[in-house]
Amino acid sequence: MERKEKILDWGYLNKYKIENEQILAPSSGEKRIVFFGDSITEGWKTIHQDFFVGKSYINRGINGQTTSQMLLRFRPDVIELKPKIVVILAGGNDIAGNTGPATLETILGNLISMCELSKVNNIKVILCSILPANDFPWKRGMEPANKIEALNEMILKYAKANNIPYVDYYSAMADERKGLKSVYSEDGVHPNKEGYQVMEPIIETIIGYL
């Protein structure tokens, strides 16, 4: 029965349902920020939770998710929380084919849809580069490095054309093979504490401008 319920909740809309219901409306002057993404975002609050302590940061990452799943839950996990800013980091799992084949254009289209939903709801967007990876430990041999690089270029082009801040984690974390530097990760995909400590000042610099 439990397995059937998980299959039916394809977008994992219930993961944060109770937590979302307990979150009050933002106070006057509060700069609430939702970090929206996959396992790289979700792992942040576990591996380096100090980053979220004492701030109006809400983590809404879900392990393994693709941009199609994230788009499905964008309303309950972002819009209804009424943030000032949403930080979107996603696309790697699409390239891995976690929910089936997806072209780079489809992935970008899902990110654009999130940006458009944000705009009509007066939420500022920060788009993030996908982190480098030259292999996926759960799906070996896909050679994702060049696709990640190409998708990041597409995201950057869209961000520039629409005056959306772009956070370049990729350049700071890539090795000579377009993979994630070993000092920043144990598996070549997910950041360790040192990896998150590289990411944090990069994103907070952008947040400070908004």
CA 97 to chain centre: 16
Query: Over the chain, what is the mean pLDDT?
Result: 95
How would residue 48 be classed by pLDDT, with cut points 50, 70 and 90?
A: very high
Q: What is the CATH number of the domain that holds 188?
A: 3.40.50.1110
Residue 20, domain member (yes or no)? no
Closest CA to 26 of 77, 81, 78, 79: 81
Number of domains in the chain: 1
Closest CA to 50 of 168, 200, 203: 200
Residue 36 counted as domain residue: yes
pLDDT for res 7: 61
Q: What is the pLDDT of residues 62-118, one digit of tens each?
A: 999 999 999 999 999 999 999 999 999 999 999 999 999 999 999 999 999 999 999
Q: Which two tokens stand for residue 179?
A: 């993979």
Report if residue 4 sits inside a domain: no
pLDDT band, very low/low/confident/very high, at 8 (cuts 50, 70, 90): confident
Range of the domain at 130: 30-209
Kindly report, residue by residue over 188-208, the tens digit of the pLDDT.
Answer: 999 999 999 999 999 999 999
Report yes or no on 102 lying in a domain.
yes
In a domain, 121, yes or no: yes
Whether 24 maps to a domain, the answer reads no
